[in-house]
Structure 1
Amino acid sequence: MEINREESEGKGKFFIEESGKQIALMTYKKAGADKIVIDHTEVDESLQGEGIGNDLVEASVKFARENNLKIVATCPFAKKVIDETPEFQKILAD
């Protein structure tokens, strides 16, 4: 499944669409020039438990690294995944 990203006016999202329907979503907002705040993650019930949410978190970490950004995770799911993944630790904002 392909993860897409859209951003407009300081807000953005990572998402997966299937047959024109959004089946997974992670939203974020910019916080200054060097941070993004992940505030929500949602996966369609039919796909829960398949690691799709983790894939969205991984995509956000990759995006942050490529753009020299730090992440503030206010979404409990994203925070848990980042906290439990040692290689993601350096991307968290202090």
Structure 2
Amino acid sequence: MSDVVNRSERHRFELDLGDGEVGFAEYRLLDGKRILFPHTVVPDGHEGHGYGTRLIEAGLEYAREHELKVIPKCPFFAAYMRKHAETRDLLDPGSAELLD
């Protein structure tokens, strides 16, 4: 299994799970200041192994490195940020309700 790769041409972070299966976290760059994460997918049979967490952490690291504020529309992303207070500085101020 490989590390998470940013497939910018597809607007998603991908994780090769083997046997042709890929987990991914989609994103959209907005106005050069924000990144929206609408959807995260881990194929059936691969849940519970931390793959989704790895995808989210890669996305948040990218946001931090590029000084982007995060809009966590994906419920999995929002739950991660809710649970990990150290990520709150990345939250887009207009998106606080997504963590409620």
TM-score, normalised via structure 1 length:
0.89
Q: CA deviation at 1:21?
A: 2.1
Aligned to 1:64: 63
Aligned to 1:3: 4
SS at match of 1:46: coil
* 1:7-60 C-alpha deviation (Å, 9 max, x unpaired): 13xx61001124472421100101111101000001011210111111111101
Aligned to 1:39: 38
Q: What is the CA–CA distance in structure 2 between the aligned matches of 1:22 and 1:89, rounded to whole Å?
A: 31
Percent identity between the two aligned chains: 24
Q: CA deviation at 1:62?
A: 0.4
Q: Structure 1 62/25 Cα, relative in aligned 2: closer, same or farther at 3 Å?
A: same
CA contact (8 A) 2:11 2:27 kept: yes
Code of the residue aligned with 1:2 in structure 2: it is D
* Higher share of residues assigned strand: 1
CA contact (8 A) 1:15 1:22 kept: no
Q: Structure 1 32/22 Cα, relative in aligned 2: closer, same or farther at 3 Å?
A: farther
SS at match of 1:47: coil
Aligned residues: 92
After superposition, the CA RMSD in angstroms is: 1.5
Q: What is the CA–CA distance in structure 2 between the aligned matches of 1:24 and 1:6, rounded to whole Å?
A: 12
TM-score, normalised via structure 2 length:
0.84
Moved over 4 A (4+): none
